[in-house]
A and B are shown apart, each in its own frame.
Chain A
Amino acid sequence: MSEQYPALLVVVPLLSAFFISIAGWINKRWCFPIAVAALSVSVWSSFGLLFRVLNEGVIVYKLGGWSPPMGIAYYIDYLNGLVLPVVSTVALLNLISSKRIVDQQFPDKTGPFYTLYVLMVTGLLGIVVTGDAFNLYVLLEIAALTGYGLLAMGEERAPLATLNYLYMGTIGACFYLLGVGYLYIVTGSLNMVDIARLLPPIYQSKAVLAAFIICMVGVWLKMAFFPLHAWLPNAYTYANSAASSLIAPLVTKVMVYVMIRLILTIFTPKFAFTTLAVSNAVVWLAVIAIVMGAVLALAERNLKKMLTYIVVAEVGYMVGGAWLGNRDGMTGAILHIVNDALMTLCVFMVVGNIVYKVKGYAFEDLKGLFRKMPFTMGALVIGAMSIIGVPPTCGFFSKWYLIVGAISAGHYGFMTALIFSSLVNVVLFFRVFEICYFEPFADHHGHNNHSEGMDEAPVTMVFPLLIVAAVLILVGLYTGDIVNHVIRFAIPEAMA
């Protein structure tokens, strides 16, 4: 059974999507359980794979028994072994938490929603697990198209925002496809490990150079790396809470994973950092991304939109960290994939809870929330601490590696940007906390405070949220283990 984990990981959700679709016509109440079951299998498989990788090393799984370069091979090493459980767990926790939102917001579209949800997770898992460059594109499109569908199910402005995303996202995917095409032309193979083996003699050729750049730009577009980020704030804000808390934590991080895969496995760090020699420029771009993300977030008076700009800044962290070119920076970037997925999930789930109860997410709607929804706000505090970078939450430790990497590389601009971002995050989140905590204002000495009762979101929404908040601290405390046992092996020995 454990031999088949790679296949189960992807195939089970894929098939269950069909069943959910059918179930949606017969009896809506069956959709949710099937989805939970399918994602649970994925979670199980992904953790199983991680433990197998820790024991055995790299796993290669040939789909259908066909050998590459003709067949598609799934390739699980330390890097995606770490990312897979994150993706599947985030998806499952969010699914459980979103049930109430789905019932509340589109009771008649339950079937389609869950179908799209599970298909999207299929796509994302597939992107992470595959070892074939073209297969990645296929799953990229699956994830993208289902994502568009999910995001468009929202408020009035959602379809238009999603259309914008569709245009940009499709261009991004096409760029990636073009890059893979070039690689196929010069190497004759689509398997990642194969390509990596065949490329070094031809590193200097213009085709390879072009392939790398085009792939990179495409991926940057899909991860909303500044200045290719414009589609993200609107698309994520206006979507319904269940969709945005699935997509915001995962899609950009999976794209960062693809970028790191390109750098580390397909093209090797030597090519990316030495032959190409643009890494300094890229890190400066990341600096701009971080600063702009922070500044634009400050300008928003809307909680959800503010969080989307924070996502843009976080992408800057990861791109900058990866392109610093040293071990610590890359460790920070990979660790941040895990940490950011969790933190973003936490804060977006909080928004989901708030929207469920208060029906709005502008600052004006947040008054007195500490009293009304203490558990949700408690989780928000922990999520905020993580985004700001306060130990012992996980966010601090990825920042640690990123800053240490910046110091090692002598890139003090990046370090300053990270510190600046932390400070701005303090302001951003305490602005929100002030409104939730202080307003409505009592008179002097707080004697006139009429106390409203607690009006928390339902247990199925609060419980997963508290689990995520606890995980933020646990992952923080176990950072040493994660880095020592997993990430250390994910980065090639050659990198300093």
Chain B
Amino acid sequence: MLVSLLFVPILVLSGKRPNVREACTFLAAGLKFLIVLSMVPAILNGTHIVYTIAEVIPGVAIKLRVDAFGMLFALVSSSLWIVTSAYSIGYMRGLKEHSQTRYFCFFALALSATIGVAFSANLLTLYLFYEMLSFATYPLVTHHQDHEARSSGRKYLLYIVGTSIGFVLPAMLISYSLAGTLDFASQGFLAGTGSKPLIGLLCFMFLFGFAKAAIMPFHSWLPAAMVAPTPVSALLHAVAVVKVGVFCVARVLTGVFGTDLLLSLDLNVPIIYIASFTIMAGSLIALSQDNLKRLLAFSTIAQLSYIVLGVGLLSPKGMTGGMLHIAMHAFGKITLFFCAGAIFVATGKKNISEMIGIGRRMPVTMAAFFIGSLSIIGMPPCGGFISKWYLVLGSLQAHQITILFVLLTSSLLNAAYFMPFVYKAFFCKPEDSMFENKVQEAPAFCVVPLVITATISVILLFYPQPFLRLARMMVQSISGV
């Protein structure tokens, strides 16, 4: 976590020489990934790595603890940072964006915060890095500094900081008052402390307080944040920021409340219905979107609630599915966003209606898009299939048949908003095509990353380690199954 934090000053200083700066970013990303990777064997063996930064409140320290779930998330984010950095270079240089130094600095800062969240040992540390992420991403979202950026920035702040200070902070402090500790435990630390309504209230405060998870009705910031440069949208909003949100929700549900407590209070039922609503509504709204990035945004909103749904089912297979989906969705969605950005760099187009026939001009990109969408829909040969499979099994295990329908219907909806686009991109009459017939892709820096992530999406179906194993380990430590 410290790696990218320490690299920020170096990035600032090397601002004048773009190549050095980019090299530093890669160095930081590479180092971070290697460090995370180096911890994987230990975690897979079952040990935890703990590090206390400062004991700020007697009994509650800013503490890092690496466990299976955190490792899963950290692996996803750190590996994708490398890829996104490459993509950013292509994108930013292709469009000759301004203030690139600031961009890369805050990107590094945001990644620091993400890893910090992944490795948090208690609620205070989680909150600290969550807030750090909110403020570090604000300059990224508002990068363009025009009127649109300002209003999107306001919405971003309003939803994300408003809910974290308004809901999470009091909920955290009330939990502390009830339990005297904030450390995550395998069956939570709130068991036996408060009254039933109070625990229920706290549960909802946390659920909605982590608005980065984009659970409706606190979801509007996500489409609004699409005004950011696409690499920002890609990593942060398809992978890091929103994943931090669902990660926090999952962490809190398992580490603060615990599955037993939630089951005993029947809290899983409201949670999964709220998640289902978001899934359905998100998918439906996505159908009506013309702007490609907004469509992807609503798709993300729905997909995030899959994760919440999975954890909310409280059955071992369901939770595994939810946690695994963090990884699967990440690789799939980032491919899609990279494609959207590549299309913009190469053609300047943002809306689907303007992209008929683009498959002929940018075949590699569209092929990658096709693979990414397969992963999101949940079809083989892509990794998304595995996580959807576990979710289905999980809903059966939890005896929630309605959820089964929700999952199936939403998959159909996913297909409904992706497939027509892909079809029209490739298979259209030559006279309908809006582009000339020659192949002209976006710059290599843009195309290579998306090919990489698309390929990984496919590989993950056949070899979902270490993600699947990490998810299984985590669920095992929670429920002993």
Contacts and interface: CB of A to CB of B under 8 A. Distances in A.
B54 A446 contact: no
B419 interface: no
A449 B100 CA distance: 13
Contacts of B148: 444
B97 A426 contact: no
Nearest to B178: A407
A430 B155 CA distance: 12
Given A403-B170, A423-B162, A477 B144 contact: no
A423 B58 contact: no
Nearest to A451: B98
Interface in B270-294: none
A398 B124 CA distance: 14
A447 B143 CA distance: 11
Nearest to B164: A390
Interface stretch (A80-88, A221-229, A479-487): A479-487
Nearest to A406: B173
A403 B177 CA distance: 10
A441 interface: yes
Interface in B229-269: none
Contacts of B58: 480, 483-484
Nearest to B128: A391
Interface in B134-150: 135, 139, 142-150
Nearest to B143: A446
B174 interface: yes
A23 to B, nearest CB: 42
Contacts, number: 104
B146 A443 contact: yes
Interface string A444-465: 1111010100000000000000
Contact of A477 (B56, B95, B145, B150): B56
Interface in B41-71: 53-58, 61-62
Contacts of B346: none
Contact of B56 (A426, A451, A480): A480
B26 interface: no
Residue among A444, A445, A451, A480 having the largest count of chain B Cβ atoms under 10 Å: A445
A391 B145 contact: no
A476 B157 contact: no
B97 A408 contact: no
Label chain A's interface by main secondary structure: helix
B146 A419 contact: no
Contacts of A446: 97-99, 143-146, 149
Contacts of B177: 404, 407-408
B176 A404 contact: yes
A389 interface: yes
Contact of A434 (B54, B55, B153, B162): B153
A445 B147 CA distance: 10
A138 B58 CA distance: 39
Nearest to B153: A434
A392 B173 contact: no
Interface in B4-56: 53-56
A437 B145 contact: yes
A407 B179 CA distance: 13
A491 to B, nearest CB: 14
A444 B143 CA distance: 11
A442 interface: yes
Nearest to A394: B56
B441 interface: no
27 contacts: A388-B165, A389-B165, A390-B135, A391-B56, A391-B62, A392-B62, A392-B128, A397-B56, A397-B57, A403-B173, A404-B177, A407-B173, A415-B170, A419-B166, A426-B157, A437-B139, A438-B146, A438-B150, A441-B147, A442-B145, A446-B146, A477-B53, A478-B54, A479-B57, A480-B54, A480-B61, A483-B58
Given A434-B154, A442-B144, A483-B57, 14 more contacts: A389-B165, A391-B124, A391-B131, A419-B169, A422-B169, A423-B162, A426-B157, A426-B161, A434-B150, A438-B150, A441-B145, A442-B145, A444-B146, A479-B57
Which 10 A/B pairs are nearest by Cβ-Cβ distance?
A: A391-B128, A480-B55, A446-B144, A477-B54, A407-B177, A479-B56, A403-B173, A480-B56, A446-B145, A390-B131
